Structure 1
């Protein structure tokens, strides 16, 4: 998601397109939401307090991802905009799911709550796996990030539909693992953005 992986086109240069790195907003807002989600999944808050993370995820992470997507699109960085746009959709829809289930907004019965959460997780797992495969030409650090997100979603999906607390907790720890990758990406982007050298991101899986 760092603009270091995107080559500016001659058209953009001639048009005097503004410069910048949307990752400087997108990555830290992703990190704070992931930390909050990981704490919920690993039991930092009581089981019934699933909405505890929404105060961070909705106004900070969802909005931050959207701002980064719009910024990237304005710079002509379509792939970066797609990544941030997809994750904006994930975080906003997660907030909608949790708030909807808590307040009964969507007419979902208590008996259907587990299946509804499973539906959400399956849909997003498939989408993020597709995103992972579609971005294999990005540096390896991004592939690692997406793969860890896939694993976390799969574990939480299993934990939800099978009623396995241990699987859900394991998913929470994988959330912390991909958060650590996000911290590394942010450190590199911030270093480059403040005049230093970016951190090595690894060779792409596909060239």
Structure 2
């Protein structure tokens, strides 16, 4: 066989190719459910805190929080766990617990499900808010390697919990309203993140999310950068 014949044979030999992945239930981006359901619950809670509904109508946002936000966060957590995104599943699972427990707290106190005397209602709310403030603050610190947009989001949530805690203990309507505006702020940041994940999911480029606080200074221009955490690209 001549060299030219060998080259021709080499060109004609088919190169095996990897089969393309088949779309299925365990693919995609769970943030497409988790982020918008988080937004709607945040808006409902913020409107309640700023006094859009009377103070006696504390259960006004519960339908949204339980049926949309709590269940939506849980579905996103299960989806993320199913595709191996442990950090994403952890975050959505934590917020699923927050929103579901908030709904049950309101229903339980207003319908006397838990046997909490009326004079202990404020202390019970303080217990709830303190527990979740510590948990969300821990989440904020534990995820500093994510893009700064997520650190800011979790930090604002922790700040809102602390403000509402102080407002509840002091029975301050004004402080509750301040907490409500902080809730609106992180809801707006959630909207930005939703545009990001939807842009990526529809074939576009994601929005800037900022350099991770806990990843050190960004590499010099032209230098190879390490790949971002998986959560950064999926949520």
Name the residue aligned to 1:114. Answer: 122
Name the residue aligned to 2:12. Answer: none
Q: TM-score, normalised by structure 2?
A: 0.81
Largest Rg, 1 or 2: 2
Moved over 4 A (4+): none
| CA apart distance, 1:91 | 0.2
| CA apart distance, 1:19 | 2.6
Deviations 1:80-120 (A, max 9, x none): 00000000000000000000001000000110000000000
Name the residue aligned to 2:133. Answer: 125
Match of 2:36 among 15, 18, 28: 28
Whole-angstrom distance in 1 between the partners of 2:52 and 2:197: 30
Deviations 1:155-207 (A, max 9, x none): 00000001111111100000000000000000010011011111010000011
Name the residue aligned to 1:6. Answer: none
Q: Secondary structure in 2 aligned to 1:199?
A: coil
Q: Does 1:204 align with 2:218?
A: no
Match of 2:45 among 37, 48, 65: 37
Name the residue aligned to 1:3. Answer: none
Q: Secondary structure in 2 aligned to 1:49?
A: coil
RMSD across aligned C-alpha pairs, in angstroms?
1.4
Q: TM-score, normalised by structure 1?
A: 0.91
Match of 1:163 among 165, 171, 176: 171
How many residues are treated as equivalent by the alignment?
Answer: 194
Q: Where do 5+ consecutive residues of structure 2 fail to align?
A: 1-19, 216-235
